[in-house]
Amino acid sequence: MAQRSQSKAKGWQQPVLLLLRLLIVGAALGVITGTALKWLAPQLNTDVPLPPAADTPPEPTASLGAFTPKREDQTLSRRLAEIAATQKDLKVGAFVLVLDDGTFAQLHPDRPLSAASSIKTPILLVAFEALDQAKLSLNEALSLNKTVVGGGAGWMGSQPLGSQFSIFEVATEMIRVSDNTATNLLIQRLGGKDSLNARFIELGLEGTMINNWLPDLEGTNTTTPRDQARAIALVETGQTLSARSRDLFRQTLGTSRTDTLIPRGWLRGIGGGTGDVNAALLQQGVRVYNKTGDIGIAYVDSALVELPDGRRVVASYMVEGPFNDPRSTNMIRALAAASAAALK
């Protein structure tokens, strides 16, 4: 019996001893490996530089399109010219571009005309560029001062000097109610007229220039139909601004209260509708994001138009004529209607 017990003990002791030996060998190997790696670490190149962070927006993708006029719709261009010719004493300009395929139509697209409040669209673009570059923040407060107080559209100019408004509120009111004082606050914050004009040129907006604070009733601030369309297209196609700022730009344009020019004309061109203009457009699968300008002697409307089939159109129509002449606004509606009919 004693021999059998000793045999059993040896039977289970041998595997245990083997396991202990393996553990000891494993630990030793771990120490050796760790020591070797520690010795080798200084010899390894761990300072491989990371690629630099992008400080400019990515190149536009095919899905976003690009501001690239490719094929002129001669029929639409002729139609725009025919409409303008009915009022020979008005100065008329137009530019229409389908971002998705490059089809375009034009009428004096590069002739500088009075910008009126349409100058606010490229200002908004530069403001959101500064946001992307962390040069300003949406909650930064701007103080009302004598230099920037402007008459005409808006309510900010009627507030006490020293009143503070966030950049988000200033940018929104600049578009929503075309607030002139809000615009002047942004011009001042972005470095002034010269700084903005230099940036406009860099963006390819060569006919766009701020010469005076808003409201600029003399019409000294200028832009062109092509520049207006380009400013919107640069954002929509991803050629400038981050995705977040692009969404904010579109959202801000969507707050515009004026639907009497391009929206109403576009609705007429696709067959009309009843009730609210924008609601009627939406019922037909069309959405318009626009910014108008009006100083009596000059009228402008520029827009991004989303069509039912997914195409996106940038369009700008500009007219100069006698003070408060209804033919000017009728002209813009007629040009928009012709464009809508051609692009259905």
Nearest to 188 by CA among 227, 149, 219, 155: 149
Only one residue has tokens 């536009």, namely 60
Which are the contacts of 265, defined by CB distance < 8 A and separation ≥ 6?
Answer: 332, 333, 334, 335, 336, 337, 340
Token pair in block for residue 143:
């103080």
Strands (E), 141-230: 141-143, 164-166, 222-223
Residue 48 has pLDDT above 70, yes or no: no
| Residue 44 included in any domain | no
**Which pLDDT tens digit goes with each residue over 218-244?**
999 999 999 999 999 999 999 999 999
**Which pLDDT tens digit goes with each residue over 82-120?**
999 999 999 999 999 999 999 999 999 999 999 999 999
What is the spatial distance between Cα 80 and Cα 88, in angstroms, rounded to a whole number? 13
Number of other residues whose CB lies within 10 A of the CB of residue 294: 22
**Which pLDDT tens digit goes with each residue over 147-168?**
999 999 999 999 999 999 999 9
Residue 67 has pLDDT above 70, yes or no: yes
**Which pLDDT tens digit goes with each residue over 49-60?**
333 333 444 444
Residue 127 backbone dihedrals phi, psi, to 5 degrees: -65, -40
**Which pLDDT tens digit goes with each residue over 124-139?**
999 999 999 999 999 9
**64 and 238 in contact (C-beta within 8 Å)?**
yes
| Residue 60 included in any domain | no
Q: How far is CA 10 from CA 5, 14, 22, 24, 134, in A?
A: 9, 6, 18, 21, 76
pLDDT at 26: 45
Tell me the CATH number at 206: 3.40.710.10
Q: How many domains is the chain partitioned into structurally?
A: 1
Find the domain containing 84 and state its range: 71-343
**343 and 307 in contact (C-beta within 8 Å)?**
yes
Selected residue with higher pLDDT from 58 and 285 = 285
Q: How far is CA 174 from CA 61, 262, 274, 293, 307, in A?
A: 30, 19, 29, 12, 26
| Residue 55 included in any domain | no
Q: Name the pLDDT band for 64 (thresholds 50, 70, 90).
A: low
| Residue 45 included in any domain | no
**73 and 257 in contact (C-beta within 8 Å)?**
no
What is the spatial distance between Cα 139 and Cα 115, in angstroms, rounded to a whole number? 29
Average pLDDT, the chain: 86
pLDDT at 50: 32
**Which pLDDT tens digit goes with each residue over 170-200?**
999 999 999 999 999 999 999 999 999 999 9
In a 13 Å sphere around the CA of 177, the CA atoms on its Cβ side amount to 14
| Residue 184 included in any domain | yes
**180 and 153 in contact (C-beta within 8 Å)?**
yes
What is the spatial distance between Cα 119 and Cα 182, in angstroms, rounded to a whole number? 13
Only one residue has tokens 């020293």, namely 162
Region 22-41: mean pLDDT is 39
Region 274-282: mean pLDDT is 91
Phi-psi region of 67 (alpha: psi -120 to 50; beta: other; left: phi over 0): beta
Least confident of 20-29, 96-105, 199-208, 317-326: 20-29
Residue 43 has pLDDT above 80, yes or no: no
What is the spatial distance between Cα 281 and Cα 242, in angstroms, rounded to a whole number? 29
Strands (E), 204-309: 222-223, 287-294, 298-306
pLDDT at 213: 98
| Residue 7 included in any domain | no
Alpha-carbon torsion (153, 154, 159, 163), positive or negative: negative
β partners of residue 316:
95, 302
